[in-house]
């Protein structure tokens, strides 16, 4: 698109959901369609995360949670996994450098211990720096699995019971939520999955209890702010009943 075609962004669909979650899927197919290696798709997907996160901040969303690497994604080739880790490192270094300007706070959901040490350190620094700011927050799910998250929470509670610090009958849904990576963060209002797949793939299993879902065939690197606006407009047309009438 030439500079003469550049249009001002369409006004945001209102109201803006407080928390949107997106499965960043379709990078591989995006690359394949162009005869490029899958890693080129991950690079394009990472750039697109920057664009969409900025857009979410600008329209006044509070939280954007993205699924970037699942507990199952280790099944991929060592080459692909290391390319993804390299892109994450690049993204975090840039995010750290620009956080003061961009005001995009970052938090991580997942077991980071399995990531390269350098990435763990960067994630810790990014999170620390984020705490100095308020406002829009992006949560990046890395080595994240919804079942893994729930099992860890169950273990943590069992350990407290074994230590005599808690009793099983005292556990509530709110108390359990506080043991998850997402503690303190409202459940996602809207979960978007691009790339045509109609499944959750182990994303936010607990938190998705009353989320609205939006699926689109658009591949993640091609997913634009317009696509997000469409999803939000669709979301705004729905009636959320939470079990009521
Ligand atoms: C999502 O894109 C990125 C990760 C899972 C890390 P994919 O790599 O799954 O892309 P497709 O599904 O093969 O197109
Ligand atoms: C889900 O996508 C995980 C991420 C986007 C990080 P996958 O591509 O791994 O999911 P499946 O294999 O199609 O279910
Ligand atoms: Mg995929």
Confidence of residue 10 (pLDDT cuts 50, 70, 90): low
Contact at 8 Å (CB) between 125 and 106?
no
Please state the atom number of ligand 2 nearest to the C-alpha of residue 68: 6
* 86 CA to centre of ligand 2 in angstroms: 19
Supply the pLDDT for residue 100: 86
pLDDT tens profile 207-221: 999 999 999 999 999
Distance CA 21, CA 204 (A): 9
CB atoms within 10 A of CB 102: 16
Longest dimension (CA), the chain: 68
Strands annotated E in the chain: 19-23, 63-70, 105-109, 137-144, 190-193, 212-215
pLDDT single digits (tens) 130-150 = 999 999 999 999 999 999 999
Ligand 1 proximity of 221 Cβ (cutoff 6 Å): no
Question: Could you identify the atom of ligand 2 that is nearest to the CA of residue 144?
Answer: 6
CA distance from start to end of the chain: 47
What is the spatial distance between Cα 232 and Cα 59, in angstroms, rounded to a whole number? Answer: 11
pLDDT of residue 134: 94
* 26 SS3 class: coil
pLDDT for the residue 6? 46
Q: Looking at 73, 111, 178, 222, which residue is catalytic?
A: 73
Please report which confidence band the pLDDT of residue 2 belongs to, taking 50, 70 and 90 as the band edges.
very low
- For 159-198, the pLDDT digits (tens) are 999 999 999 999 999 999 999 999 999 999 999 999 999 9
């Amino acid at each position: 698109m030439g500079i003469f075609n550049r249009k001002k962004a369409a006004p945001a669909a209102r109201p803006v959901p407080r928390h949107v979650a997106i499965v960043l899927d379709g990078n591989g197919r995006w690359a394949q369609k162009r005869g490029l290696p899958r890693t080129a798709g991950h690079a394009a997907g990472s750039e697109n995360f920057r664009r969409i996160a900025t857009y979410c901040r600008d329209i006044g969303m509070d939280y954007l949670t993205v699924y970037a690497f699942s507990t199952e994604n280790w099944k991929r080739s060592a080459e692909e996994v290391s390319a993804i880790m390299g892109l994450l490192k690049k993204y975090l270094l840039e995010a750290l450098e620009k956080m003061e300007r961009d005001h995009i706070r970052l938090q991580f959901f997942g077991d980071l211990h399995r990531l390269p040490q350098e990435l763990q350190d960067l994630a810790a620094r990014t999170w620390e720096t984020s705490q100095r700011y308020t406002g829009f927050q992006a949560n990046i799910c890395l080595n994240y699995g919804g079942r893994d998250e729930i099992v860890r929470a169950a273990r943590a509670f069992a350990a407290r019971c074994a230590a005599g610090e808690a009793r099983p009958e005292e556990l509530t849904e709110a108390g359990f939520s506080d043991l998850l990576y997402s503690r303190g963060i409202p459940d996602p209002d809207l979960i978007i999955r691009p790339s045509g797949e109609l499944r959750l793939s182990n994303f936010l299993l607990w938190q998705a209890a009353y989320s609205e879902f939006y699926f689109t065939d658009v591949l993640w690197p091609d997913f634009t702010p317009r696509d997000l606006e469409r999803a939000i407009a669709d979301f705004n047309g729905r009636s959320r009943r939470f079990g009521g009438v």
